[in-house]
Amino acid sequence: MCHHAWLILYFGRDGVLYVGQAGLKLLTSETRVQIQESVRGKDVFIIQTVSKDVNTTIMELLIMVYACKTSCAKSIIGVIPYFPYSKQCKMRKRGSIVSKLLASMMCKAGLTHLITMDLHQKEIQGFFNIPVDNLRASPFLLQYIQEEIPDYRNAVIVAKSPASAKRAQSFAERLRLGIAVIHGEAQDAESDLVDGRHSPPMVRSVAAIHPSLEIPMLIPKEKPPITVVGDVGGRIAIIVDDIIDDVDSFLAAAETLKERGAYKIFVMATHGLLSSDAPRLIEESAIDEVVVTNTIPHEVQKLQCPKIKTVDISMILSEAIRRIHNGESMSYLFRNIGLDD
């Protein structure tokens, strides 16, 4: 049997923020939660960061929310800086939209409000039937560039693929810098040859389809050679993205930029999952510095790789909590954020 103690934040009727405890027991393979403080009629804020064992983390969160709901909490607000399974927000072949499933589970458990940061796709907010505040980390990352990179005026913002060009454009316009896009990044093309949908049709029935009619098939994609659209020669290259997990694509982008003449390479992202042997690969690569926020704990990775730097975003989360409890407008936290950001 394993015991854990969780901290929960809740506001009492006197408007004072209290820190309570919730006992969490792991009985063999089951999780049991017991709220050790009275939360009846109170605003409860459950702060949950995602650990390596993401499935256990999700289950603990759901049980915690449900325990607060059955303890008659007035409202239950989840503060989840990194929303797990956010990459699985689109249908891929016969897969499933897992982030939609997770949103439904959270709402069913009793969550009444969600505070998160830089969702992989903004449309994930539509999976919830409760209010969602998708905060932005870009102001903190922009401030880091301006304060910690002395010659950032000689920098160019880089999108490592056309898919991340919007984020790069947003950074470049705010810093009044140029932009470059890496096109033709080597990726494993998904093949339908091993998919059941490629199976040959049944015996053709004249009644079902006319023999002269054929369904047109898409022309297979051909990977273009890797090119960099934009000038990076003699410049600092700052690659921006939202998640750093598997670093292979970042390493390939860094090598390409070095070949094109960039003399310093920074990688900036909101969520630093940095799983597997990412710290070792970064340390041995052409990347000079990786800057991520503390939405996900990564102290162990920092010990393995001094190139990893952390930007603290706790200030905006605490302000969001205060404003929600006091019923104040959240628009102050979304100043100068356009629809494309």
Clarify whether residues 41 and 69 are in a common domain. Answer: yes
Q: Under 8 Å CB-to-CB from 290, ≥6 apart: which residues?
A: 244, 266, 267, 268, 269, 272, 282, 305, 307, 308, 309
The tens-digit pLDDT sequence of the chain (341 residues) is: 455 545 566 665 555 555 565 666 655 578 888 888 889 999 999 999 887 789 989 999 999 999 999 999 999 999 999 999 998 888 877 788 999 999 999 999 999 999 999 999 999 999 999 999 999 999 999 999 999 998 999 999 999 988 899 999 999 999 999 999 998 855 544 444 555 555 555 655 545 556 666 778 888 877 788 889 999 999 999 999 999 998 999 999 999 999 999 999 999 999 999 988 999 999 999 999 999 999 999 999 999 999 999 999 999 999 999 999 999 999 989 888 877 77
Clarify whether residues 108 and 153 are in a common domain. Answer: no
123 within some domain:
yes
Q: How many domains does the chain have?
A: 2
Domain of residue 236, residue span? 138-185+225-311
Pairing type for strands 2-11 and 227-229 reads: unpaired
Instruction: Kindly provide the b/e burial profile for residues 11-41, where b requires at least 16 CB atoms within 10 angstroms of the residue's own CB.
Output: beeeeeeeebebebeeeeeebebebeeebee
Clarify whether residues 114 and 13 are in a common domain. Answer: yes
DSSP reduced 3-state for 210? coil
Q: How far apart are CA 142 and CA 135, in angstroms?
A: 15
- pTM (2 d.p.): 0.84
Clarify whether residues 233 and 287 are in a common domain. Answer: yes
219 within some domain:
no
274 within some domain:
yes
The CATH number for 281's domain is 3.40.50.2020
Q: Which of 308, 157, 177, 336 is nearest to 240 (CA)?
A: 157
Q: Which of 288, 290, 270, 266 is nearest to 278 (CA)?
A: 290
Answer positive or negative: Cα dihedral of 142, 147, 153, 157. negative
